[in-house]
Structure 1
Amino acid sequence: MSSEIAGDTLRDEESHPAGRPRVPKNKKRSGVTERDRPLWLLAPGGFLITVIILVPLVLALYMSVIDLDQYTLRKWLSTPFIGIENFVEAITKTELLRSIWISVSFAVIATVVTVPLGVAAAVVTQNPYRGRAVVRAVFLVPYVLPSFVVATVWRTMLQPDGIVNNILHGAGIDPGLWLNGPMSYWTLIFVEIWAAWPFVYLLALAGLQSVDHEVHEAAAIDGALWWRKLREVIFPYLRGPVSLAFLLGTLNHINNFTLPFVLFGAPAPADVNVLPILVYVTSFQSFRFGLSAAMAVVSLILIAIPLFIYLRAVKLDVSEDGGKK
């Protein structure tokens, strides 16, 4: 019996050398573990998302169901609850539906034009040639300029006595008013296209960088013409970036407030009274904060629909690829 006790003591001393404290096996380590460390690293971003996105979203939802205006703002916590009356009024008694139609149509037209322009520019600047760096820099000029600068420059150029009308008058053309009336809608589309197409160009150029050089060599050896090479080699690699550019471009056009606000002012002409301008005027000029919050919630739902469709399509695509593997 004593020999067994001595053997156990010897093994304990070998496994725990002198000077090193014994740690029970069932004792848990204090502090952040390896498993919890990613959550702590995400904590700052989660805090910012909560403060910047979630809290304003909750406040907007609450404001949309109360009768909040300039008279009840001081005691907004005790403002009467009116349910969906703000939404009913926004749909039936305001220009909300017309603004939605203007925003969506303008966004779709701008995206349909900018996507081919961006892809064509990316294809043109993909292969190296003399002066390519200068061409790429010029293509990025509309993208690096702030929206208010772009809108201010075009507003100055499109004035009745601006440079655009002077050039057209010199050519014997009477253009009319660019910033008011029916022409204002197409002015907004044109300026938005000019400012937005480099974003598609960057995404398409990034997608072209992923095309394997061996694929280009194989297509050249097989004698593929340039159109077939674009269709069979390049375009399949651009499906993901172009789809993302189409979605982000459309949502950005719908949400663009700075460009139409600076270009046309507020309240904007009826033909360019886009949804962000309508919400701004309702809130900060009419002081109907509850009504404007209801409009903002409607715009959020409008944006969430294509975003959900895109995310669903991406998820299905990834699932199919995983199933094939």
Structure 2
Amino acid sequence: MTAMSTESIKRPLPAAHATGRGPAPDPAARKGLSRRNRPLWMLIPGGVLMAIVIIVPMVLGVWMSLLDLDQYSLRKWLSAPFIGIENYIEAITQSGLLRSVWLSLSYSLIAMVITVPLGVAAAVATQNSFRGRAVIRSIFLVPYVLPTFVVATVWRTMFQPGSVVDNALHGVGIEAGLWLNGPNTYWALVFVQIWASWPFIYLLALAGLQSVDHEVHEAAALDGALWWKKLRYVVFPYLKGPLSLAFLIGMLHHINNFTLPFVLFGIPAPHDIEVLPILTYVTSFQSFRFGLSAAMAVVSLVLIAIPLFIYLRAVRLDDGESGGRK
């Protein structure tokens, strides 16, 4: 044997080979692993709070919708008679659930179709700097910063017979009739919802306009583009994402809006504005059909989850396509 081979034979084996237990753990690797998992540990408090506030009540609501829970069996609560999907069948076939869903969807869609152009127009009008722009922007935000309870109370007063709205319409030769209990209640709800929610569209549209590069504006001006073509080909493409998000959030908010019709019209509400949250409230706290109202709440949850899933799916596909192009 050579001297080198003799030294290699005499050299002691590593501890892993001597014990036959595999390689020893690297302290640096353990440290890196803990650092990598540290954000997950920091999410635990928020996850526990979300489970207590959202997931647990949701599971209880689904279970209640499968029970014959009313004022007689309320003492038993979760031990009330199990009836399966009978509450859902009754809600769809015998109650006014389908009509309430239609009212909620229709008035929300009408409100959003009108508020989106209003918000975009206000954002375009206040984008460029001019004297008094800060004051105008502040005034535009007044309906949005007011609590819904205050908005509904003010408009309830203004819609009273012989009040501000009737006098204003009478001044232009229009006899409107009753607003809070009559054939005009649906349009009164739509009008107040538009007035209260268009500044939200304005904010998101204004945020989208801030992302438009000034060089793009300068290039369009040098090319002699007219204001309409500039809006269509330069400004509107930047507003596609913010307006899509605003449309979705606005629709979901209008469908779930309980405070506005409750305060504006009171209980019992007129039949023309018995939207889904109002019907669920009346079924639960006036008819004391808690199981049936829980089934209505679950239907409302599914109704909200469908457009949300579609939007999230569309955003995911857009991200995948942009990633592929990159």
Residue of structure 2 in register with 1:211 after alignment: 212
Q: Percent identity?
A: 73
- Cα offset for 1:280? 0.5
- Taking the aligned partners of 1:135 and 1:41, their CA distance within structure 2 comes to 43
Matches of 1:40 and 1:322 in 2, distance apart? 30
Q: Distance in 2 between matches of 1:171 and 1:227?
A: 33
Distance 1:56 1:163, change over 3 A: same
- Equivalent residue for 1:85? 86
Aligned to 1:94: 95
Question: Counterpart of 2:120 in structure 1: which amino acid?
Answer: V
DSSP 3-state at the match of 1:45: helix
Structure 2 counterpart of 1:289, which letter?
F
Matching residue of 1:43? 44
Amino acid in the other structure paired with 1:250: M
Query: What number of residue pairs does the alignment pair up?
Result: 309
How many angstroms does 1:25 deviate by? 5.7
Find the counterpart in structure 1 of residue 195 from structure 2: 194
Give the corresponding residue for 1:11. none
State the partner residue of 2:25.
26
* CA drift at 1:93: 1.0
Distance (Å, rounded) in 1 between the aligned partners of 2:152 and 2:131:
33
Q: 1:194 is aligned with what amino acid?
A: W
The Cα offsets for residues 87-132 of structure 1, whole Å up to 9 and x where unpaired, read as 0010111110110010000000000001111111111111101110
CA distance in structure 1 between the partners assigned to 2:277 and 2:78 by the alignment: 26
Say which SS state the counterpart of residue 238 (structure 2) adopts: helix
TM-score by length of 1: 0.90
Secondary structure of 1:36's aligned partner: helix
Deviation at 1:167, TM superposition (A): 3.1
| Aligned partners of 2:64 and 2:78 also within 8 Å | no
3-state SS of paired residue (2:36): coil
What is the Cα-based RMSD across aligned positions, in Å?
2.1
Q: Determine the C-alpha separation between the residues in 2 that align with 1:41 and 1:212.
A: 37
Partner of 1:67: 68
CA positional deviation for 1:171: 4.5
Which residue matches 1:103? Answer: 104
Q: Is 1:220–2:221 an aligned residue pair?
A: yes
Q: Which runs of 5+ in 2 are unaligned?
A: 1-6, 12-22
CA-CA distance at 1:184 after TM superposition: 0.3
Q: Could you tell me how far 1:52 is from its partner in structure 2?
A: 1.2
Q: 1:249-279, CA deviations, whole angstroms, 9 ceiling, x for partnerless residues? A: 1111111100000001122101000000000
Aligned equivalent of 1:269: 270
Q: What SS is found at the alignment partner of 1:33?
A: helix
Unpaired runs of 5+ in structure 1? 9-23
Distance 1:214 1:187, change over 3 A: same
Query: By how many angstroms is 1:172 displaced?
Result: 4.2
